[in-house]
Chains A and B, each alone.
Chain A
């Protein structure tokens, strides 16, 4: 009579079928493919990020050129042109008309002294 442990080891048990082999082979194949795509995707993102960084840096450099600054600051600005910012527009108005306004105030003060 064989040893009990040997007999248990020799008991018939299910083994992996060909169908399971195919299913796991499919999983392994898909896993390799997705890892390869992830790797390629990573490289593509790096290249795109470098290109975007380069384009942005050239844009900022051209915007900070002295000539460009001059053309922007030397342009005549009126209150109506900067109406997009009402508070700034009112300040400009005040600065444009301060002499005439001061004249009105001065005249009224002098008349009150009389």
Chain B
């Protein structure tokens, strides 16, 4: 891979994980794609290839998503749009569907725990990579993940008759 190709290769390899990473923060697919676009536009300005393009891309996308969310929260007219989660709309839930219970249980977790769970299970990042992306120690990430899974189990068991 030449020095110029890392941007395209990183996008092709991790695009879905990056969109999910942004979606965890914005909870809006359009805003998540905008965050990925913004992150890649700023990454393209770099003259050198980063040491770890994957982690660099995740960190850039996460920061861009946080910026998108921050600017959205400053605009009250758009607030309702960003609060909307297409995949977790109340009307879209079917009480008979166990995945809907799971979605709702995930939403009850703290935002940071939700992000760690999603990055680990959906984007397939290791605890160390999550720690470097979110600027948290690896041990903290691992313990938050364990606590969040235990909490989810207890929430789902409470739901079962």
Interface residues of B in 1-37 (CB under 8 A from A): 4, 7-8, 11, 15-16, 18-20, 23, 29, 32-33, 36-37
B103, B121, B149, B152 pick with most chain A CB within 10 angstroms: B121
The reply to whether B19 and A27 form a contact with Cβ atoms under 8 Å apart is no
Residue from A9, A16, A35 within 8 A of B33 (CB atoms): A16
Which B residues are in CB contact (< 8 Å) with A28? 7-8, 11, 40, 44
Which B residues are in CB contact (< 8 Å) with A20? 15, 19, 33, 36-37
**Is B55's beta carbon under 8 Å from chain A?**
no
Give how many A residues have a beta carbon under 8 Å from the other chain's beta carbons.
24
**Is A12's beta carbon under 8 Å from chain B?**
yes
**Closest partner residue, chain A, to B122 (CB atom):** A13
Which B residues are in CB contact (< 8 Å) with A30? 44
**Is A98's beta carbon under 8 Å from chain B?**
no
The reply to whether B32 and A14 form a contact with Cβ atoms under 8 Å apart is yes
How far does the alpha carbon of A21 sit from the alpha carbon of B12 in the complex, in Å? 9
Given A8-B106, A15-B16, A16-B16: A27 and B37 interface contact (C-beta under 8 Å): yes
How far does the alpha carbon of A61 sit from the alpha carbon of B38 in the complex, in Å? 56
**Closest partner residue, chain B, to A19 (CB atom):** B33
**Is B99's beta carbon under 8 Å from chain A?**
yes
The reply to whether B152 and A14 form a contact with Cβ atoms under 8 Å apart is no
Interface residues of A in 29-60 (CB under 8 A from B): 30-32, 35
Query: In whole Å, how far is B149's beta carbon from the nearest beta carbon of chain A?
Result: 6
A5, A25, A31 pick with most chain B CB within 10 angstroms: A31
**Closest partner residue, chain B, to A17 (CB atom):** B33
**Closest partner residue, chain A, to B11 (CB atom):** A24
Q: Interface 1/0s, chain A 51-75, versus B by CB < 8 A?
A: 0000000000000000000000000
**Is B87's beta carbon under 8 Å from chain A?**
yes
How far does the alpha carbon of A25 sit from the alpha carbon of B37 in the complex, in Å? 10
Q: Interface 1/0s, chain B 79-106, versus A by CB < 8 A?
A: 0000000110000000000110011001
Instruction: Return 24 A-B CB contacts under 8 Å, by A number.
Output: A4-B149, A7-B98, A8-B122, A11-B103, A12-B87, A13-B118, A14-B20, A14-B32, A14-B86, A15-B16, A15-B19, A16-B18, A16-B36, A17-B33, A20-B33, A24-B8, A24-B11, A24-B36, A24-B37, A25-B8, A27-B40, A27-B41, A28-B8, A31-B7
Which residues of A are interface residues toward B (Cβ below 8 A)? Answer: 4-5, 7-9, 11-17, 19-21, 23-25, 27-28, 30-32, 35
